[in-house]
């Protein structure tokens, strides 16, 4: 199955991930400032998620010229990076659990709407490179795809928050962000591990580690 993959053009891929990295870094600052201003757990976790995407795509641009073995190792590093937003979500959930104030619903709606636009652009840019460049681009694609789902969930949650007037929907969504990122990290780690085994086989190293 893996033998049917068409390798991605390194120059096109590098340009694509650098554009995606720049978009994510810019919106990380926008969403992070707004999240702190209105006290939103889910929005803060999502802003950290933008920084995670910036880091993953920057790593791809750096690792493109590396060997298959080192790309697999970079893929595992990407899987670890994907967990960063999950840690941020856990921290905020624990901190706000005793008394979750409701964040401003309209600001949540507008900010998450902007995030949907950014992440849809990133997903479309990365979709053509999803198969054919290994776990690194899979990490970037999965992160962008999951971010669209998270942003849409934040928009829905903004409406629920306006209706119920509490911060509990925000905490529940923070937990959902945790689950999504752990699942994506697991997928990327497994793909990178398969690539590492393939690299060993190509090198004639069949020893069990």
Q: How far apart are CA 100 and CA 88, in angstroms?
A: 16
Q: How far apart are CA 82 and CA 181, in angstroms?
A: 6
Specify the pLDDT at position 1.
Answer: 39
SS3 13: helix
Is 148 exposed, middle or buried (CB count within 10 Å of its CB: 0-12, 13-18, 19+)?
A: middle
Tell me which of 46 and 182 has the higher pLDDT: 46
Mean pLDDT of 159-172: 87
Specify the pLDDT at position 203.
Answer: 67
Mean pLDDT of 140-148: 81
Give, in order, the Cα–Cα distances in Å from 93 to each of 86, 170, 197. Answer: 10, 9, 38
For the chain, give the number of residues. 209
Domains of the chain are: 9-202 (1.20.1510)
Q: DSSP states of 136-169 as a string?
A: HHHHHHHHHHHHHHHHHHHHHHHHHHHHH-SSHH
Helix (H) or strand (E) holding 191: helix 168-202
The alpha-carbon radius of gyration of the chain (Å, integer) is 18
pTM of the model: 0.77
Least-confidence region, from 3-12, 40-49, 77-86, 94-103: 3-12
**Contact call for residues 137 and 43 (beta carbons, < 8 A):** no
Least-confidence region, from 72-76, 93-97, 170-174: 72-76
**Contact call for residues 57 and 72 (beta carbons, < 8 A):** no
Specify the pLDDT at position 80.
Answer: 80
For the chain, helix (H) and strand (E) counts, in that order, are 7, 0
Mean pLDDT of 165-187: 80
Using one digit for the tens of pLDDT, what is the confidence trace for 92-135?
788 877 777 888 999 999 999 999 999 999 999 988 877 655 66
Specify the pLDDT at position 107.
Answer: 94
Give, in order, the Cα–Cα distances in Å from 166 to each of 100, 161, 172. Answer: 7, 6, 12
**Contact call for residues 62 and 71 (beta carbons, < 8 A):** no
Q: How far apart are CA 104 and CA 161, in angstroms?
A: 8
């Amino acid at each position: 199955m893996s033998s049917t993959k068409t390798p991605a053009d390194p120059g096109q891929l590098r340009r694509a991930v650098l554009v995606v990295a720049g978009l994510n870094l810019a919106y990380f600052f926008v969403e992070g400032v707004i999240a702190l201003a209105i006290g939103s757990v889910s929005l803060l976790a999502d802003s950290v998620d933008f920084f995670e995407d910036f880091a993953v795509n920057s790593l791809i641009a750096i690792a493109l010229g590396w060997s298959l073995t080192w790309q697999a190792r970079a893929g595992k590093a990407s899987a670890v990076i994907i967990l960063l937003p999950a840690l941020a979500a856990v921290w905020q959930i624990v901190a706000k659990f005793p008394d979750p104030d409701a964040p401003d619903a309209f600001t949540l709606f507008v900010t998450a709407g902007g995030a949907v636009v950014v992440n849809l652009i990133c997903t479309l840019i990365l979709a053509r490179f999803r198969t054919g460049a290994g776990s690194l681009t899979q990490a970037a694609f999965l992160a962008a795809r999951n971010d669209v789902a998270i942003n849409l969930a934040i928009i829905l949650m903004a409406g629920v928050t306006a209706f119920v007037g509490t911060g509990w929907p925000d905490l529940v969504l923070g937990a959902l962000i945790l689950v999504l990122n752990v699942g994506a990290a697991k997928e990327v780690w497994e793909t990178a591990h398969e690539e590492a085994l393939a690299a060993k086989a190509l090198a004639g190293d069949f020893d069990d580690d």
